[in-house]
């Protein structure tokens, strides 16, 4: 995988965010005996990478903790005790909680305790800095914010890699990849890679542009027929369209009563979907389009503004899919790629593309789930 092959080996090679890297280094040196730092910023901007490289360069051991470790506070105590011994090679230790968001509300108590008692600095990465769970913790932490990687430096980076890899491409295609990646290096590398496997086909992010149009029609029109046509023409499943709506209604509708009506329709869709899942009552599916129309009709009038619709967040989709099989697949990928399950989700599309083009082989059942999850045609 390109994102693995071209992963920077030193902090100097990290694109952008050099000031942030410098600040983190300084912070760690200053907080050898404890303290807490939150790092936040957009996906694929090098947050996890930076912490790992900084620890390596400063010769600190990283003690990695995940959501599971906070389920039982005893674990944390044991860990602190067992990590007291100093190893010969390391200058110190850093407790590292990547993806603090995934710690449950009840687990946060243990995080609080840890911050109070830890003899080592604690570095935490957070997706949603405005999450309510963080209100209290934030008061005890310093914060470093990462930014998206700027287009010109991402462009240069991709060009170099395309050359080295002999991927046939041109400035227009690279520009498009850079623009759609939205400053996310991992996404850009994954797109470049899927292009190299599948040069003829449009890259998968174009599919996202199409869903953009579908959502745009539904949220902008007040004509039921337009909604039906948009649903019919979409290559996404109804479920997916609903996730997109759920994520973006709040960006489009402004009045309280509009939001109330739209969320009411959404919750009715949710009830139907649950019934379909539980009793395999597929016939109920036919009620969903009318409820999507209800979402469209929730607004008093059309908003003329431009809205930059966002894809449904991982947690929204993942929570709804609750598919044990998908979970198992992500688990496998996470072991294989040495990333968390959440990050593995970022690789689903690329892996699907690699499987589809027979670059890699996986077992039949996993393939089925993978294609279903990514909306690939078999
Ligand atoms: N600033 C960067 N410079 C060079 N490569 C990068 C950068 N950011 C990300 N990458 C590439 O993307 C991969 C993923 O990066 P990383 O895990 O650090 O992202 P992240 O900011 O932690 O994202 P997430 O919020 O999804 O966890 C890296 O292995 C690397 O290949
Ligand atoms: Mg990360």
pLDDT of residue 377: 53
Does the beta carbon of 45 sit less than 6 angstroms from any atom of ligand 1?
Answer: yes
Distance between CA atoms of residues 113 and 38, nearest Å? 16
- The neighbour count for residue 9, using CB atoms within 10 Å, is 9
pLDDT of residue 137: 93
Q: How far is the CA of 264 from the centre of ligand 1 (A)?
A: 38
Q: Interior CA angle at 13 toward 7 and 17, to 5°?
A: 100
pLDDT digits 0-9 by tens, 236-272: 888 889 989 998 999 999 999 999 999 999 999 988 9
One DSSP character per residue, 70-84 reads GSSHHHHHHHHHHTT
Q: Which ligand is nearest to the CA of 2?
A: 1
Q: At 4, which helix (H) or strand (E)?
A: helix 2-5
pLDDT digits 0-9 by tens, 270-304: 889 888 777 777 788 889 999 999 999 999 988 98
Q: 287: closest CA among 279, 276, 297, 299?
A: 276
Contact 314, 345 (CB under 8 A): yes
Distance between CA atoms of residues 331 and 325, nearest Å? 10
Does the beta carbon of 174 sit less than 6 angstroms from any atom of ligand 1?
Answer: no
B/e letters for 301-329, b = 16+ CB within 10 Å, e = fewer, are eeeeeeeebebbebeebbebeeeeebeeb
Atom of ligand 1 nearest to the CA of 98: 27
Instruction: Name the residue with the closest Cα to ligand 1, atom 18.
Output: 46
DSSP 209: H
Distance between CA atoms of residues 269 and 287, nearest Å? 8
pLDDT digits 0-9 by tens, 30-46: 999 889 999 999 989 99
Q: Find the distance separating the first CA and the last CA of the chain, reported in whole Å.
A: 22
Atom of ligand 1 nearest to the CA of 6: 31
Distance between CA atoms of residues 53 and 63, nearest Å? 14
Q: At 113, which helix (H) or strand (E)?
A: helix 108-117
Q: Which ligand is nearest to the CA of 342?
A: 1
Instruction: Name the residue with the closest Cα to ligand 1, atom 8.
Output: 46
Phi first, then psi: give them for residue 222, nearest 5 degrees: -120, 15
pLDDT digits 0-9 by tens, 102-117: 888 888 988 998 999 8
Structure tokens at 259: 């939001």
Q: pTM of the predicted model, to two decimals?
A: 0.69
Does the beta carbon of 188 sit less than 6 angstroms from any atom of ligand 1?
Answer: no
Does the beta carbon of 43 sit less than 6 angstroms from any atom of ligand 1?
Answer: yes
pLDDT band at residue 319 using 50, 70 and 90 as cut-offs: low
- The neighbour count for residue 11, using CB atoms within 10 Å, is 21
Structure tokens at 91: 């200058």
Ligand 1 test: best mutation among 46, 99, 160, most atoms within 8 Å of CB? 46
Share of the chain above pLDDT 70, in %: 91
Instruction: Name the residue with the closest Cα to ligand 1, atom 13.
Output: 186
Quote the strand ranges of the chain, DSSP E: 35-40, 60-65, 92-97, 121-126, 141-145
């Amino acid at each position: 995988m390109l994102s693995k092959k071209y992963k920077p080996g030193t902090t100097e090679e990290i694109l952008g965010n050099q000031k942030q890297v410098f600040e983190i280094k300084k912070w760690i040196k200053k907080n050898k005996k404890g303290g807490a730092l939150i790092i936040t910023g957009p996906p694929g901007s090098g947050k996890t990478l930076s912490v790992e490289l900084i620890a390596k360069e400063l010769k600190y051991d990283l003690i990695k903790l995940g959501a599971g470790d906070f389920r039982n506070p005893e674990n944390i105590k044991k860990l602190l005790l067992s990590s007291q011994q100093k190893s010969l090679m390391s200058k110190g230790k850093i407790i590292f909680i990547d993806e603090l968001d995934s710690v449950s509300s009840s687990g946060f108590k243990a995080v609080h305790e840890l911050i109070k008692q830890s003899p080592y600095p604690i570095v935490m990465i957070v997706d949603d800095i405005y999450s309510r769970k963080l209100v209290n913790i934030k008061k005890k932490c310093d914060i470093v914010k990462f930014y998206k990687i700027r287009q010109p430096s991402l462009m240069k980076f991709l060009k170099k890699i395309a050359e080295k890899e002999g991927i046939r491409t041109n400035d227009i295609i690279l520009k498009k990849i850079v623009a759609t990646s939205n400053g996310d290096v991992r996404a850009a590398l994954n797109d470049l890679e899927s292009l190299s496997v599948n040069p003829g086909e449009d890259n998968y992010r174009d599919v996202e542009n199409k869903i953009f149009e579908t959502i745009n029609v539904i949220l902008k029109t007040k004509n039921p027929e337009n909604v039906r046509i948009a649903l019919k023409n979409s290559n996404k499943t109804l479920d997916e369209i609903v996730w997109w709506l759920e994520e973006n209604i709040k960006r489009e509708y402004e009045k309280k009563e509009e939001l109330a009506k739209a969320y009411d329709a959404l919750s009715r869709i949710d009830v139907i979907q649950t019934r379909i899942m539980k009793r395999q009552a597929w016939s109920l599916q036919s009620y969903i389009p009318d409820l999507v129309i209800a979402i469209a009709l929730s607004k008093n009038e059309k908003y003329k503004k431009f809205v930059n619709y966002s894809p449904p967040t991982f947690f929204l989709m993942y929570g709804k899919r609750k598919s044990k099989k998908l979970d198992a697949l992500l688990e496998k990928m996470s072991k294989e790629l040495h990333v968390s399950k959440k990050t593995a989700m970022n690789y689903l599309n690329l892996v699907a593309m690699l499987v589809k083009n027979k670059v890699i082989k996986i077992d039949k059942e996993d393939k089925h789930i993978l294609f279903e999850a990514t909306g690939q045609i078999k």
